[in-house]
Every structure is written in C-alpha cells, then in structure tokens.
Amino acid sequence: MSDSIHRLISWHADWTGLRVAVLGLAQTGFSVADTLTELGAEVLVVTERADEEYERLLPVIGARLHTGSLHEVPAALRDFAPEVIVASPGFAPHHPLIAWARESGIPLWGDIELAWRVRDKVVRPDGTPAEWLLVTGTNGKTTTTRLAASMLVAGGLRAAPCGNIGVPVLDAVRDPAGFDALVVELSSHQLWYLSLAAAEGQPVPAAAVCLNLADDHLEWHGSFAAYRDAKAVVYRNTRIACVYNKADVATREMVEDAEVVEGARAIGFDLGVPGPSDLGVVDGILVDRAFLDERRTSALELTTLDDLHRQDLAAPHVVANILAAAALARALGVPPAGVRDALTTFRLDPHRIEVIARHAGITWVDDSKATNPHAAASSLGAFPGAIWVIGGQLKGVDIAPLVQQRGPAAKAAIVIGEVRGEVVAAFGRHAPAVPVIEVDAGETEHVMRRVVELAAGIAAAGDVVLLAPAAASFDQFSGYAERGTRFAEAVREHIIQTGTTPENGTGGADGDHDADQAPSGS
C-alpha cells in the first residue's frame, strides 16, 4: 500500500482524484459511492445489476457505473486501475473480484473501514469524533444494537444504531447533527473485511460484544473456523469493555485471545448470579456488578423480570440481550436509571417472535428472522410443543442437530422451501414420531396460505403455530420480512374466513439474527 493511502485517516485528508472501485450497488454500496464522491475521489461502481433509483442517482453524485456479469473481472474494472477497492458485504472471499484484488495487491476495504477513516467529519463539542460501540453475534445483534442505542439516549447522550441494522454507518458519520456515540451492528461479512484492514483503518471501539456463536453463513466463509475468526475481530483494539456471554465459551475465548488497549476489562453476562465484573440476574432482578467501585460486595439494580414481563421482554434470550446492551451503555457511563427508562418504552422489531394473532385458543407466532438453527432453537425453547414451520435455504448448515434437539417436542412439522429433503430426512432420523407435512406450493403467494391451512387443520386450543424456519428465504421470498408478512397475511385471511375476530398480537420475545444476505453484493 502506498504512503498516500496510509495517510487517508481523516475526512480532511486529500482524497481528491483517488481512483476507487466500489463493488455492489445496494444500500451499502451507494453509501460508499456517495461518501467517496463527496470526498473528491474518482469512483467506478461495479455490480451485476443496478436498482433503477440508484442507477439514476449515480451520475448525479458524480460516479460511473458498470453492470454485467462478474464471473470474471470486467475489462472496465481492469482499465480503471483502482488504487483502492471498497466491497459491499455480499461479496464473499472466494468471489472472483475479491480474489483478483488480493492477488493484485490492491487495498481492499469494507464500508466499516472507510467509515472509521472518515469518522471525524462531524465531531463533538470537544473536537473528538463519536465513540463507537460494536455489536456482533450469530443471533441477537439487531435487538442488542437498538437496546444499547436506546439506553444511551435515555442516559442523555446523542446516539444512533447503524451498520448491519439497516442504516449504513457512513450515513451516520456524515449526519450533520453529530452524535456522542454510534452503536454499530456488524455482520460476520463486515468483520471479515475489517480483518484485512491496515492498522490505521482498524476501529478502536470503546466497548464491543459478541453475543453468541453458532453455525451460520458457512457457504460465505467456507468453514466454521473462518466464521469464528471473523466474529472475533469485533474485540480488536477495544479500550474499555470486552463484553462476552458467560454461557458461550467461544465468546470468552475470543476475549482471552483479543489484542486490546491496555486497561480494557472483560465483562461477562448471563442469566445467573453475577460475579464481580459481570451482569446477571439475582432473585428476579437484573443487576450490574461490573461498573461500580464496590463491585466485590455490591450490585446495582437495572430492572426486574416482572417489569420485563409487562413489556413482553422477558424471554430468556431477550433478557440476555438486555444485559449485553446494558454493559455497553454502562461502559459509556449511562446510569442504571437510564437503562431502566429505556426499557419502559422499548419495543421489538417485527418478525422476531412476534405474536401476530390469537384465535380459537391458537397462538400464531412469526419468527421469520430465525434464519439459522441457533435462532430457531431459541424460538422453540420459548414454545415447546409448537406446530413448527421450518425450511428454506440452509446456507450450508447441517439442520440435523437442531431437529435432534428440538424436533421430538414439536406437535408437527410443516416443511417449506424449494428443496425440503434434508429437513424431512432429519425428522425421519431424529423425530420419527412427529408428523411431517411438505408444502410443495412453488409460488410465493400460495406458500403461506397452504401452511396456514395445514396448521389450522392440526392445531387445537392451547397450541402455538410457530414460523421459525432456521433457514434463509430467497428460494421462495424476497427476504425474511416478506416471508413473515406473507405468513401474517395468511393467518389473518384464515381468521376472517372463520367469521370471528382475533385477539390482538402482543409483540413478544425476540429471536434476532443475522439477516438473510442477498446472493449478489449488497
């Protein structure tokens, strides 16, 4: 890497004329292109296909566009001779363009590295950029990110959730209002790109957490070890608190192996009684024994399980997310009252163990965002004996251990997806007594109607019908959100056809997970 690239560590550095290729043109790719053109760089966006609106906007911001097959390096990209390539997180390490960039010695960044380099565009009154808090994990990232941001705001700080949550971090660092802190949700894909970063491009977060670790996105990373190594990057250079899950040994080992700033502390959380430097639960009270002077003999109350029950936030994995978020917020000085106040108004996002209807004694639950087995296991743990709607794109993950663990307790399994054989076979081996019904409706609009029709024929008063697919959705839907919405619509249509009025859904517990990743770079 040239010295001029090394010096690009500020919004106010000289970016003028720098040739940058941006791979991918969805939300992340456009935010990258928009940032770079604002900096004065010469930008070529390369993508297989372009959204019509983004394609219209690129010439407006001053960027060029190349579309077409990316199975090999386009001549337009070679001729452009980029000095830096910034890739959207959909581009896997084995993608031909990524392999070419690495073989050619071209610096390869993700959007997070670029955002860290230009984080000083808008600064706080003391002249320093916003603090960063980093959140990753196989499941729970989005909820924990939103919780932490809410706690920071309740504690009097200007804060925003961003990153993999749906708001590009580059949009947040360029927001003219400015922030005291950014809570940055990071996917394993984004963290893999950070693993390539030179020292000056590596974030130095105030605090970081990996919530848990289980098989996911193996088709992207190539192996569980590579997936784990990417997740571990979240702790690198942490200054104040490395927050880890005491119930997940892998996260503790990540902290033990991490290169952190001297003085950074390991802060554990789980649902048990906490030791010094931990957060946990004592007699139905969530407590902090980490961020107080007398932590060996005292604890600070954050909230109670009774209060969380009233907010529909008391499912065990949601409580764990709350403790993790509280640790991040407390690391930046948010008082216990701020944590408590944030929880009084917090609501979970749709498609995360969302109770969409109660009718004739049957509860219908949408956890479409359960896109991997670990997430689905949490859902099934909250609803033992459910009629389980499962299936979709398995992303290279073996479904059998989940079926072995949770399948025998199910009342029935309704299997969706274009390829269902692996799921059906797993039930045959590990839960042969459970009725298994395949849905072969190939068209998106008919899949969930058939699912609901079948489930209604099986369910009796007191039963739960749970959409917890343990798989991605792109074989039949545009994403997990459409899958969940179609399910909810089909449930409501069914209830209307019966001529009765459903009880209102109440939201419910959260099973927040790595969102489906579109097959193209996005």
Task: Tell me the CA distances in angstroms from 383 to 315, 426, 474, 508, one per residue in order.
Answer: 10, 20, 26, 12
Q: Where are the domains of the chain?
A: 3-109, 125-345, 354-507
CA 136 to chain CA centroid, Å, is: 7
* Number of helical (H) and strand (E) elements in the chain, helices listed first: 20, 21
d(CA 473, CA 180): 37
Options 3.40.50.740, 3.50.50.60, 2.60.40.10, 3.40.1190.10; CATH of 125-345: 3.40.1190.10
- pLDDT tens string, the chain, 522 residues long: the values are 567 899 999 999 999 999 999 999 999 999 999 999 999 999 999 999 999 999 999 999 999 999 999 999 999 999 999 999 999 999 999 999 999 999 999 999 999 999 999 999 999 999 999 999 999 999 899 999 999 999 999 999 999 999 999 899 999 999 999 999 999 999 999 999 999 999 999 999 999 999 999 877 677 888 999 999 999 999 999 999 999 999 999 999 999 999 999 999 999 999 999 999 999 999 999 999 999 999 888 999 999 999 999 988 998 889 999 999 999 999 999 999 999 999 999 988 888 888 889 999 999 999 998 998 988 998 898 888 999 999 999 988 899 999 999 999 999 999 999 889 999 999 999 999 999 999 986 666 789 999 999 999 999 999 999 999 999 999 999 999 999 999 999 999 999 988 655 554 433 333 334 433 343 333
Instruction: Considering the domain delimited by 3-109, tell me its CATH architecture.
Output: 3-Layer(aba) Sandwich (3.40)
**pTM of the entire predicted model:** 0.80
370 closest CA partner among 210, 143, 169: 143
Options 1.10.10.10, 3.40.50.10420, 3.90.190.20, 3.30.565.10; CATH of 354-507: 3.90.190.20
At 323, list the tokens. Answer: 């403790």
233 closest CA partner among 201, 279, 265: 201
d(CA 371, CA 364): 18
Radius of gyration of the chain measured on its C-alpha atoms = 23
Are the CB atoms for 30 and 55 separated by under 8 Å? Answer: no
SS3 431: coil
d(CA 410, CA 114): 47
